[in-house]
A and B are shown apart, each in its own frame.
Chain A
């Protein structure tokens, strides 16, 4: 068995991005993946792309390794049960048509431009190692000053507005500007997708700005759909990594990271096999890495306790249906991204029961029907949905899953009569199923909740936000690190940059 100087744990987008960059820099890199194929959350959970890091897409030359985009500006239809839908064309609802209050068209244009502008100003933070609030931190003060300067150069009124909405909640922000329930519902859904926040939760705007700072093919706020779906993106990343000299071993689950005298020396697999390396990069959730792979014996009590207590509650479930015929959502274009989120109130109401470990009666959801675009060889149709909100730790998990599935199907039937009769196969993965399958703590999509108190220098935890850990030679490179989740590769790329800067 050849020896490697770097082991990357986890072949998700961040692990692959980090591995690729390190291999290009001359390291011999082994990626260990517990699953049968690379891809991680990108392949298993996500169904579209909103923030693939251009540094990763270009640096890994994903186009050459098979990534093609079916669309880089996926339109959205916000469904109404009566068929009076709202169509949102272009990037982030650049053009609205259908069920919309005329006054809202103008108000949304203003708010949309403002949100994109604010997100763009914050975007440079994503590609930086987060600054440390300490006197001797050697922060990139010029870069930070530029962000501040650009914010100020928006003018006094806009700068003040950024300050006003920065830590406010999505519900109030939308309520200030808009009236149309369908539009507000669609925006409230997007803003809270994948988080454990309702639109009315404090500080819900900042995670939305993070989402809006993402881009597809250079288009900020655009939703992208790779040809072949998100697994194709993961496959392209894996191919690119292998082409760069990375070795990927699947079905190799790491049981623990070996530490001697405060230095990581290698890993032991669940098979008992030991592999040594000078550098270990964990692309698993930081909470899992610290509590399960390292453990308390090698960590200070304060840090270990903070890791245990890091918030990681998943609120989103993934539903996959196989249908004998293409469902008809009362005339909505099936190639669109379809949203069932009738109003901002509905989104909040779907969150309420989850706070108490219960299942919402009317979940809100995002639907994709890839077979409407590219027919499947078997003639069946595939519908994938991200459904909010699902309890991450209900009292009875099987009962909660059954109730959630029933509620989802009822909600789908309401919008597409006859859909349930055409269902030939269902698969609903609740947050706890996602945790069991992927290891994401609490089934949280961001490998640790993305909320203000767990962002920037607080992500994943204060003291270890710069990808480095107190264990010499152990680095963190997961979506649980700054800047956060999505299929971006950004934390992995940032971590690799931080490792390069170390030398």
Chain B
């Protein structure tokens, strides 16, 4: 986009825009990474219900995507990310994170191993300078391919059946695996991944095939409750699944101004991703030190009394000593419980005396409530159908 009139289009359309714009009856748009995206198409409750009870499509195009390719791709990624990339099989996907020298989180994302030497890294933030610097000394090329790929997330109990009806045999596809099929005039890559914690798939193709893909799914899914969803419904689903979002649940280090807001994987409950034995990765020395000392912060799931979402609530011990902050919260329609994700002081994870200070705006006046909060296991919700192979027919 070197067009000097770019300012006339401050938000770009995604390759699915012709369909999403037509379906977005509320005109509730939001800016996601410079693209016009939908927060709610029609009705939030119906959209969330589609994720859990039928099927949903969600436009993933604004997600940042990098192509990483070359003989040293594995070595490069093993130095970039704390997880062991050598263990990631071709055709598989894993969740991953990466840190700066101080071990502070820069982002999380998913890493797709397309071939022995070719990967795709999907994430929330833009990191090309960091990735290019990291690539120095490795025989690897890093290319941003966000605009070269149209991606659509198909999630919900009937999603497998919709794909079958669309003529794609996904019975052998296991969670975190991917497959490649011919589609229209090109190819379609399908990964059994998603951000809802439910049965679901992510579909990847070229922008020219975006609309045919949308139409094929809609046609196949019209008797299976398929509907487009916006980011509001997805947010509720991801909270139920206990997934974190960079920029919401922690501030990435490269944009974080306040030193006490920086968070490491250990602070965020992501220590399980770190392979301490695989060799060096950026941030390893700092994280080893933190591991020896023990992290100051923990990241937890909470159940909170009442039914008012505790977004941004400050957490207290014994109703008066600050203990942390809620980073995401909702009334879960699936669980019929008030749930939250929170950064909590590590020494208080087992405290039976935690409280959330919730402000509810009621006719211009805030009602302040001190509600009891209990640390519970994450995910809050994880249905068996998510991992069943072949995926069940609904």
A residues whose Cβ falls under 8 Å from a Cβ of B: 259, 261-262, 291, 295-305, 308, 463, 470
Q: Given contacts A296-B138, A297-B79, A300-B101, list 12 more A-B pairs with CB under 8 A.
A: A262-B280, A296-B79, A296-B134, A297-B75, A297-B137, A298-B280, A300-B100, A302-B101, A302-B282, A304-B133, A304-B136, A308-B136
A291 to B282: give the CA distance in the assembly, Å: 15
Chain A nearest CB: distance from B126 CB in Å? 16
**Chain B residues with CB below 8 A from A299, complex form:** 280
With a CB–CB cut-off of 8 A, which chain A residues contact B138? 296
* Bound: A297/B281 CA distance, A: 8
Question: How long is the Cα–Cα vector from A295 to B136 in the complex, in angstroms?
Answer: 10
How many residue-residue contacts, CB under 8 A, span A and B? 45
The smallest C-beta distance from A411 to any residue of chain B, in angstroms, reads: 41
CA distance A133 to B320 in the complex (A): 35
Determine the distance from Cα of A305 to Cα of B100 in the docked complex, in whole angstroms.
Answer: 12
**Contact assessment for A301 and B130 in the assembled complex, using a CB-CB cutoff below 8 Å:** yes
Complex contact A296–B137 (CB within 8 A):
yes
Give Cα distance in the complex from A463 to B285, angstroms.
13
Could you tell me if A297 and B136 are in contact, using CB atoms closer than 8 angstroms? no
**Cα–Cα distance between A262 and B282 once the two chains are bound (Å):** 12
* Chain A residues, CB < 8 A from B101: 300-303, 463
Q: Is the CB of B284 within 8 A of A262?
A: yes
Point out the residues of chain B lying under 8 angstroms from A300, CB to CB.
Answer: 100-101, 282-285
The residues of B that contact A261 with a CB separation of less than 8 Å are 279
Closest to A295 in B: B137
Interface of A is mostly: helix
Q: Is A304 a contact of B280 with CB atoms below 8 Å?
A: no
Give residues of chain B (111-146) contacting chain A, Cβ–Cβ below 8 Å: 130, 133-134, 136-138
Q: Which of B130, B136, B279, B283 contacts A296 (CB 8 A)?
A: B136
B24 sits at the interface (CB 8 A): no
Contacts A300-B101, A302-B100, A302-B101 given: A470-B285 contact, CB under 8 Å? yes
Taking the complex as formed, is B80 at the interface, i.e. its CB lies under 8 A from any CB of chain A? yes
Chain A residues with CB below 8 A from B79, complex form: 296-297, 301
B282–A301 CB distance below 8 A: yes
Q: How far is the CA of A492 from the CA of B279 in the complex (A)?
A: 30
Closest residue on chain B to residue A259 by CB atoms: B280
How far is B133's CA from A300's CA once the two chains are assembled, in angstroms?
A: 11
Contact status B282-A297, CB under 8 Å: no
On chain B, which size bracket covers the interface? 10 to 19
Contact call B130/A297, Cβ cutoff below 8 A: no
Task: Encode contact with A along B263-307: 1 for CB under 8 Å, 0 otherwise.
Answer: 000000000000000011011110000000000000000000000
| Shortest CB distance A374–B (Å) | 49
Chain B contacts of A463 at CB under 8 A?
101
- Give A463 Cβ to nearest chain B Cβ, in Å: 8
Give the CA-CA distance A291 to B75 in the complex, in Å.
17
Q: Report the Cα distance A296→B133, complex, angstroms.
A: 10
Q: Which residue of A is nearest B75, CB measured?
A: A297
Q: With both chains docked as a complex, state the minimum distance between the C-beta of A297 and any C-beta of chain B, in angstroms.
A: 6
Q: What is the CB-to-nearest-CB distance from A475 to chain B, in angstroms, rounded to a whole number?
A: 16
Can you name the residue of chain B whose Cβ is closest to the Cβ of A260?
B279
A305 in contact with B136 given A296-B79, A297-B75, A297-B279 (CB within 8 Å): yes
Residues of B within 8 A of A303 (CB): 101
> Interface of B with A (CB < 8 Å)?
75, 79-80, 100-101, 130, 133-134, 136-138, 279-280, 282-285
Give the complex CA separation of A302 and B134 in angstroms.
8
Residues of A within 8 A of B133 (CB): 301, 304-305
Closest CB pairs A-B (n = 4)? A296-B137, A302-B101, A300-B101, A300-B282
**Which chain B positions have C-beta within 8 A of A305?**
133, 136
Interchain CB contact under 8 A, A304 and B100: no
- For A309, the closest partner residue in chain B by CB is B133
Min CB–CB distance A261 → chain B (angstroms): 7
Contacts of B80 in A (CB 8 A): 301
- Most chain B CB inside 10 Å of its own CB: which residue of A261, A296, A302: A296
Question: What is the minimal beta-carbon distance from B328 to any residue of chain A, in angstroms?
Answer: 29
Which residues on A sit within 8 Å (CB–CB) of B282? 300-302
Assess the A262–B134 pair: CB atoms within 8 A: no
A308 proximity list for chain B (CB < 8 A): 136
Question: Which of A262, A297, A300, A305 counts the most B-chain CB atoms under 10 A from its CB?
Answer: A300
A296 and B137 CA atoms in complex are apart in Å by 6
For the complex, what is the distance from the CA of A463 to the CA of B101, rounded to whole Å?
11
Residue of A nearest to B132 (CB): A305
Query: How far does the Cβ of A42 sit from chain B's closest Cβ, in whole Å?
Result: 31
Q: Whole-angstrom distance from the CB of B86 to the nearest CB of chain A?
A: 13
Q: List chain B residues, Cβ under 8 A from A304.
A: 133, 136-137
| A277 → B minimal CB distance (Å) | 20
* Chain A: CB-nearest residue to B100: A302
Q: Which of B101, B130, B134, B279 has the most CB of A within 10 A?
A: B101
Residues of B within 8 A of A291 (CB): 137
Question: How many Å lie between the Cα of A276 and that of B229 in the bound state?
Answer: 61
Contact between A297 and B280 (Cβ–Cβ < 8 Å)?
yes
Docked Cα-Cα span, A262 to B80, in Å, equals 16
Q: Is B285 touching A262 in the complex (CB atoms < 8 A)?
A: yes
Inter-chain CA distance A428–B136, complex, in Å, is 34
Who on chain A is nearest to B76 by CB? A296
Q: How far is the CA of A308 from the CA of B100 in the complex (A)?
A: 17
* Assembled-state Cα–Cα distance A335/B80 (Å): 59
- Chain A residues, Cβ within 8 Å of B130: 301
Contact with A301, one of B75, B134, B285 (Cβ below 8 angstroms):
B134
Residues of A within 8 A of B283 (CB): 300
B134 CB contacts on chain A under 8 angstroms: 296, 301
Q: What's the minimum C-beta distance from A308 to chain B, rounded to whole angstroms?
A: 6
Q: Bound state CA distance, A479 and B83, in angstroms?
A: 38
Q: Report the separation of the CA atoms of residues A297 and B284 in the bound assembly, to the nearest whole angstrom.
A: 12
- Residues of B contacting A470 in the complex (Cβ-Cβ under 8 angstroms): 285
In the bound assembly, the distance between CA atoms of A296 and B79 in angstroms comes to 8
List 19 A-B pairs, Cβ < 8 Å.
A261-B279, A262-B284, A295-B137, A296-B137, A296-B138, A297-B137, A297-B279, A298-B280, A300-B101, A300-B285, A301-B100, A301-B101, A301-B130, A302-B100, A302-B282, A304-B133, A305-B136, A463-B101, A470-B285
A92 and B13 alpha carbons, distance in the complex (Å): 71
> Within the complex, what minimum Cβ distance (angstroms) separates B14 from chain A?
31
Give the distance in Å from the alpha carbon of A295 to the alpha carbon of B76 in the complex.
12
| Cα-based distance from A470 to B75 in the complex (angstroms) | 20
Give Cα A108–Cα B100 distance, bound, in whole angstroms. Answer: 51
| Complex: A261 Cα to B134 Cα, angstroms | 19
Give Cα A300 to B284, complex, Å. Answer: 8
Taking CB atoms, residues of chain B closer than 8 Å to A302 are 100-101, 282
Residues of B within 8 A of A259 (CB): 280
How far apart are the CA atoms of A463 and B280 in the complex, in Å? 18
Q: Report A-chain residues with C-beta under 8 Å of the C-beta of B100.
A: 300-302
- Give the shortest distance, in Å, between A260 (CB) and chain B (any CB): 9
How many Å from the CB of A464 to the closest CB on chain B?
11
Distance in angstroms between the alpha carbons of A486 and B100 in the assembled complex? 35
Q: CA–CA, A259 to B279, complex, Å? A: 10
> For the complex, what is the distance from the CA of A145 to the CA of B79, rounded to whole Å?
42
Taking the closest CB of chain B, its distance from the CB of A346, in whole angstroms, is 40
What is the chain A residue whose CB lies nearest that of B78? A297
Closest beta carbon of chain A to B265's beta carbon, Å: 15
In Å, the complex CA distance between A28 and B55 comes to 72
Q: A183 CB to closest chain B CB, in angstroms? A: 47
